Amino acid sequence: MNKFTRWIRNILIFFFTSTILSVVILKYIPVYVTPLMLIRAVEQMARGEAPTINHHWVPLERITHHLPQAVMASEDNLFLKHKGFDLEQIQKAQIEAQEGKRQRGASTISQQTARNVFLWQKRSWLRKGLEAYFTFLIEAIWGKERIMEVYLNSIEMGKGIYGAHAVARYNFNTTPDRLTRDQCAYIAVSLPNPLERDSAHPSAKMRKMHKTILKRMKQIDTFPREVCAQ
């Protein structure tokens, strides 16, 4: 084995060992900061603003079950059924891209979680490949409840607002376990563009989308079931 081959081998060993270990560790400890939080803070400073990160980790059992329902209705209605990838939506997105239509988002909640926690937001083939890799890992190691818990704690929900606790406090003056069904639907409506869509002050377009989300929520299973049964 020559020097170059050993170098490549060592890099691959380090990559797989470190990434798998990080996923295992984050199965058990809260995710207190994500790359996106740091990127947004740098962007704020570049604009001459004070960096703001409003974030507080809360376990899934302290978040109303309406919020998982709402985000599944809005972002990924097959979350409980797929293994991390919605192949039908990916195929539709590819077809629309080939036809020159506006590019749709086809990322599942699992993919978004992998990207939020481990990667950056700017699109590239490298990021797509790593996103698929980390999505496979968290589906295999974390499971659905942990993925949802991390998602609801790390997703951007407004300017400087990350996660269920922060959005409940700053947008609705309440706690994540007391968010109403209506409030959760508005939060879900804001997720595709949380810097432009304010869940606390919805536009006419958001109110229309809100009604659609509420209808979809009726078709989504409560999650997690054991929490809802208590």
Q: Where are the domains of the chain?
A: 1-30, 31-228
Q: How far is CA 73 from CA 54, 66, 153, 169, 220, in A?
A: 25, 10, 18, 23, 7
Q: pLDDT tens digits, residue range 110-169?
A: 999 999 999 988 889 999 999 999 999 999 999 999 999 999 999 999 999 999 999 999
Distance (Å, whole) CA 225 – CA 12: 40
Looking at residue 197, what is its pLDDT? 95
What confidence tens digit (pLDDT) does each residue in 75-114 have?
Answer: 999 999 888 887 766 655 555 444 454 444 568 999 999 9
222/126: higher pLDDT: 126
pLDDT over threshold 50, residue 215: yes
Share the mean pLDDT of the chain. 89
pLDDT at position 86, please?
Answer: 76
Q: What's the confidence (pLDDT) of residue 228?
A: 41
With pLDDT > 70 as the criterion, what percentage of the chain qualifies?
Answer: 89
What is the model's pLDDT at position 92? 59
Instruction: Return all residues near 222 (Cβ < 8 A) that are at least 6 apart.
Output: 65, 69, 228
In sign, the C-alpha dihedral spanning 209, 103, 219, 57 is: negative
Specify the pLDDT at position 125: 92
For domain 31-228, the question of CATH label 1.10.3810.10 is answered with: yes
CA-CA distances (angstroms) from residue 12 to 5, 21, 25, 38, 150? 11, 14, 20, 27, 27
Which of 112, 115, 35, 104 is CA-nearest to residue 72? Answer: 112
